[in-house]
Structure 1
Amino acid sequence: MAEDGARNEAGVPLVEAIREAIIRGEFVPNQRLVEADLSTQFGASRAAVRSALLELTNEGLVERIQNRGARVRAVPLDEAIEISEVRMVLEGLCAAKAAEAVTGEEVRELQGIGRSMREAVSGGDLLGYSALNQELHRRVREIGGQQTASRVLERLRGQNVRHQFRLAMHPGRPAVSLPEHLAIIDGICTHDPEAAERAARAHLRSVIEALREVDAQGPGHRL
């Protein structure tokens, strides 16, 4: 674990700050992560940076190369598909649990996210839609309350989120995934665990197919 209390100058935990920088694409796959540079960038000690990089290595976001230090781990397509296959099972479980546990207030919240997703797609706001996508999946996990599945999914998210983000930016993809997300919301909000699980699994199958299709289009389109 990173040093207790290790935070950047903005007060964000150092591990979280570096993790989010990787996820947002500030550091690209295979880019070296130099401790001295990160120490300056995040306003933290080199010891804290080293500890954070070790934790991120354990999460699968960073890899350490002998005699060359740390770098952002590039997740290949076949591994991204495997991760999505595991997510398909666990996201389905969480959606079913959410349908059983959802409250009236949470129903209104999920429906509000659905409306915002519709607006983002109709307005061509791909970044906004991508953020709402992540928010929806997070809230489904939280509402479902399956802590073990949630921890595994959060870890997998870190490894696969760059594929997910770039897929969301792919032309035409949001229009495909929007009804899939709305079906998940509908299943949960109508307290139908089977429908919610079925919708979540169908969405992840669609993600897997889209990953393969985008990769098959050639180097100019690869994730």
Structure 2
Amino acid sequence: MASTPTATQSNETRPELSLTEQLRQDIVAGNLVPHQRLVEADVAEEHGASRGEVRLALNELITEGLVERIPNRGARVRKVSLQEAIEITEVRAAVESLCARKAAEKITDAHAAELRDIGQQMQLVVDRGDREAYSQLNRTLHGRVIEIADQPTAAETIARLRGQAIRYHFQLATRPDRPQVSLPQHMAIIEAICTRNPDAAGRAMHEHLASVTEAIAASAVA
């Protein structure tokens, strides 16, 4: 009946993460699979949490679209279809392109230095083949662009969309060839924003996420 990962993924090994973050990470990494039941008592025992804490965490993940509640059955990991993931990424491309444009309009010299530093770090980890570090820097870069844009409604929309399709994006990010494809795209985004070129920034972000959409679609026949 247990619906959670083994103790190797318990909160004892990830004390810095909240229960919501631990469950989100397990869903993204595939430790919790689509349609797997999340029984409150089992989750609480596995993570050393109270039933109330588990309920709050599951409600957060339901809001994000990672978990769904089935009448008379409880909560389970929500399955996002390939077509839905593609549609989500297409919508995300439109909204993140807006954020890239706004970031290019609002960026400061300090922000530009920070984005360029992220770009340099991305190049270094690609050179040494560290896909996990690259994936983290990818998330950091997108997050900083959204923060610099200072568009709260767009940021909330992106977070919700990204959460729903994050398992596909995670699988894509771990492919050995993906950093070589996306690194030049990220560098183009950074350059356009740092040179305060809104049109180029929006276009670079849209082209990058269009590439993500194409790669997700191609994974269906890979």
Give the TM-score taking structure 2 as reference length: 0.88
Structure 2: distance between partners of 1:215 and 1:121? 26
Q: Does structure 1 residue 201 correspond to structure 2 residue 206?
A: yes
Residue in structure 1 matched with residue 3 of structure 2 by the alignment = none
Q: Cα deviations across residues 134-182 of structure 1 (Å, max 9, x unaligned)? A: 1100000001101100011111121111111110112311111111111
Change in CA separation of 1:118 and 1:11 when aligned onto 2, cut-off 3 Å: closer
8 Å CA contact retained: 1:117, 1:178: yes
> What is residue 134 of structure 1 aligned with on the other side?
139
- The answer as to whether partners of 1:23 and 1:158 remain within 8 angstroms in 2 is no
Deviation string 1:79-124 (CA, Å, 9 cap, x unpaired) is 0011101111111000011111111111111111111111111211
What residue number does 1:4 align with?
Answer: none
TM-score by length of 1: 0.88
Q: What SS does structure 2 have at the residue aligned with 1:179?
A: helix
Whether the 8 Å contact between 2:131 and 2:176 is mirrored in structure 1 is no
Distance 1:195 1:26, change over 3 A: same
Note the alpha carbon deviations across 1:49-76, whole angstroms, 9 max, x for none.
1232123223211012233321111211
- Partner SS state of residue 175, structure 1: helix
Q: CA–CA distance in 1 between the matches of 2:169 and 2:34?
A: 14
2:64 is matched with which residue?
59
What is the deviation of 1:43?
2.4
1:1-150 map, 5 Å:
10=15, 12-150=17-155
Q: 1:188 aligns with which of 193, 198, 214?
A: 193
Q: In structure 1, which of residues 168, 172, 176 is the aligned counterpart of residue 177 of structure 2?
A: 172
Spell out, residue by residue over 1:33-57, the C-alpha distance to the aligned partner (whole angstroms, 9 max, x if none): 1211211233221133123212322
Q: Separation in 1 of the partners of 2:63 and 2:106?
A: 32
State the AA in 2 paired with 1:121: V
1:13 positional shift: 4.4
RMSD: 1.7
Q: 1:113 to 1:41 in 2, by over 3 A?
A: same
For structure 1, the residue ranges without an aligned partner over 5 or more in a row are: 1-7, 218-223
- Classify the secondary structure of the residue corresponding to 1:216: coil
Structure 2 residue runs without a partner (length 5+): 1-10
Q: Does 1:210 align with 2:218?
A: no
Identity of aligned residues (%): 54
CA-CA distance at 1:215 after TM superposition: 1.3
Residue correspondence of structure 1 range 142-161 to structure 2 within 5 A? 142-161=147-166
